[in-house]
Chains A and B, each alone.
Chain A
């Protein structure tokens, strides 16, 4: 009798496996075409692109997978399918939902062939405790656990990946690895849903220093308190902008980056990308986002920039360099489309830079290319930076007008091109090794006009008059 039950369940198990099991042979064809460039033809993570990527592509021959929903080391087929389909945010693994579903299941079947001996143990899904909804108490409890199980050692006090152990972290292959910045859930490797985060805490990220915490927390439901705390760290989805609006204010503009004025202004988020045109190239930039706030009064324009940098660095001149950020403008915005080359200008046409560097403060420069910077004499710019818990907040101020032809003049209502560059000196970024943007627009908003309150009533009254006239004429005619 027992034998029959076992036999039936084995058949049933084989049946479910076959239902989603792909054809490994067909998977190989897709793999060679789409995956081998990074993961290597042998699946050893040593494709031609591998050494440029951080984190490195997965080595399938070890059978070790970062994102899994199982208490065992072996992930389920569904886990592999999901990573292929949705990709891994914040890494070079893109979502492959463009491939037909069948191809993706075939890939799953093929991937398992790289480490057949690792598949002997049957995958077992982890049982999460009952979900705890977010509340002030839950977040408080989550914070206590965050300190108790020492999440802050790597992820930092405020979750900005600036913990003291950060520099020593290595993955199982000996490559340096960065802890996740918990204030940026859109870059969480295994997804940012509540269940995804709770699961990551419960089972860890295999092959990395992130362990399973389900047995280290006091009570199992603490993984939900931690999840609620982690989600409370994020300031919300970035508000990406293509036009930075400079708000008009009356009175003096504070130097202090933490002044109340700055909190009243909604930031524009600007994504930064690696500079890969001139050597040394930066395929894995450290700073990927800057929040920009800008105001002006009758005399001055001021920029408030916020960005995450895990290490405050003034540079030792060998491996670490000063942290820096710069705003780039054409010296004379023509209003037309033409402007200098986005990468800090070129020999024929230079750019004006309003920049800040740790240890030096705010300054101005002109550039004719990424290695040809010339500081401008006669400081007209001032400002102040604050570094706290893995984040810089900076105010840079400058007079609106300038007699110097090399300095950009700012006038209300004009669309002025602007570009951004940032350096994380602690990560070895200096000179051309930076993160940057191409051209965006900056516009000083004109003082509020009353047009929008006058025009609508005028239109409404004119319409009413015209309609009354039509009614009158029609009634007279009949």
Chain B
């Protein structure tokens, strides 16, 4: 089994194994650009390894050179001369025949909030404010229950019974409704931020967040200030997430 000791064979094995692990061994799948970057690093490392000294380099190059020049390797050479141009030609075809894709929609998911908003004519601070209902410890359960009722009558159709953004209207909209179970949503936001997003909805988004695409209603038209704070309590209570506090933000 001399070919197992061949430098060239070892290099090929390392590259193939790395690719298989990167492409299929990682869940969720890594983006193609990341795989390309890692494969480039692996290739460089392999080349440095095989060219560490001149004996090693000669051993590495020998099979390549013999394929190119040896008369008894004629057939292998011929096969490469046919296969590689065909492969690259096919790749060119797939690129030229690709159907156009819709342009990507880039949007800021959590834009910077304003310092304060006008809610039905009343000024409400966004920066530095905590949920006022949390102070009322005795009535907390009552507020959570009221928030749950408001949620199922208004929010559930998109954000889902399980608060995971899979309500029955969710599949029809892009951007999709927020998934509150995801640690990347309400768990990294302050409650006042949620108040702003619920009260002002899509029409209140800044331009970098493509307000014309989002179907989030401006709930100030329909819910009272207290109802919105109750829904926010419910979102954290039902998902077990903790709101980001102002203390830790500073």
**A interface residue numbers (CB < 8 A to B):** 33-34, 37-38, 47-49, 52, 92, 94, 96, 98, 242-243, 245, 271-274, 276-277, 283, 337-343, 346, 415, 437-439, 441, 443, 451-452, 455-461, 463-464, 467-468, 470-471, 474-475, 478
Contact = CB atoms under 8 A, between A and B. Distances in A.
A47 B215 contact: no
B160 interface: yes
Contacts of B80: 467
A459 B92 contact: yes
Given A48-B149, A94-B166, A463-B88, A439 B172 contact: no
B40 interface: no
Contacts, number: 136
Given A340-B212, A439-B212, 16 more contacts: A49-B156, A92-B161, A94-B161, A94-B167, A94-B168, A96-B162, A242-B102, A276-B154, A276-B169, A341-B212, A342-B212, A346-B203, A438-B173, A438-B215, A456-B89, A460-B86
7 contacts: A47-B152, A48-B153, A342-B212, A452-B93, A452-B96, A452-B97, A464-B85
Of the four ranges (under 10, 10 to 19, 20 to 34, 35 or more), the interface on chain B belongs to: 35 or more
A50 to B, nearest CB: 9
A355 B91 CA distance: 44
Nearest to A475: B69
A475 B89 contact: no
B157 A456 contact: no
In the complex, the 9 A-B pairs of residues with the closest C-beta atoms, listed nearest first: A460-B89, A37-B152, A49-B152, A452-B96, A48-B149, A460-B85, A273-B172, A459-B92, A474-B68
A474 B68 CA distance: 7
Contacts of B172: 271-273, 437-438
B212 A52 contact: no
B169 A274 contact: yes
B101 A38 contact: no
A461 B156 CA distance: 59
A277 B154 CA distance: 10
A402 to B, nearest CB: 23
B174 interface: yes
Given A37-B151, A467-B80, A456 B169 contact: no
Contacts of A340: 212
A276 B162 contact: no
A468 B161 CA distance: 65
A254 B102 CA distance: 28
B148 interface: yes
Contacts of A96: 162
Contacts of A437: 172-173
A92 B157 CA distance: 8
Given A92-B168, A273-B169, A339 B212 contact: yes
Interface of B: 65, 68-69, 77, 80-81, 84-86, 88-93, 95-97, 99-103, 105-106, 148-149, 151-154, 156-157, 160-162, 164, 166-169, 171-174, 202-203, 207, 210-215, 217, 238
A342 B102 CA distance: 17
B169 A470 contact: no
B148 to A, nearest CB: 6
A441 B102 contact: yes
Nearest to A470: B68
Contact of A457 (B89, B169, B171, B174): B89
Contact of A415 (B96, B102, B173, B213): B102
A451 B95 CA distance: 10
A475 B166 CA distance: 64
A48 B173 contact: no
A247 to B, nearest CB: 12
A109 to B, nearest CB: 20
A92 to B, nearest CB: 6
A98 B207 CA distance: 35
Contacts of B91: 459
B81 A468 contact: yes
Contacts of A343: 215
A274 B95 CA distance: 39
Nearest to A441: B102
Contact of B174 (A52, A98, A242, A245): A242
Contacts of A458: 92
B69 A461 contact: no
A213 B230 CA distance: 49
Nearest to A446: B100
A338 B167 CA distance: 27
A455 B88 contact: no
Given A37-B152, A339-B212, A276 B217 contact: yes
Given A415-B103, A443-B100, A474 B65 contact: yes
Nearest to B104: A337
A277 B152 contact: no
Given A460-B85, A467-B80, A276 B157 contact: yes
Given A94-B160, A341-B203, A273 B173 contact: yes
Given A338-B207, A474-B65, A451 B85 contact: no
A67 B85 CA distance: 59
Nearest to A47: B152
A441 B169 CA distance: 20
A52 B167 CA distance: 14
Of A245, A456, A464, most buried by chain B (CB within 10 Å of CB) is A456
A343 B211 CA distance: 11
A79 to B, nearest CB: 21
Contacts of B160: 94
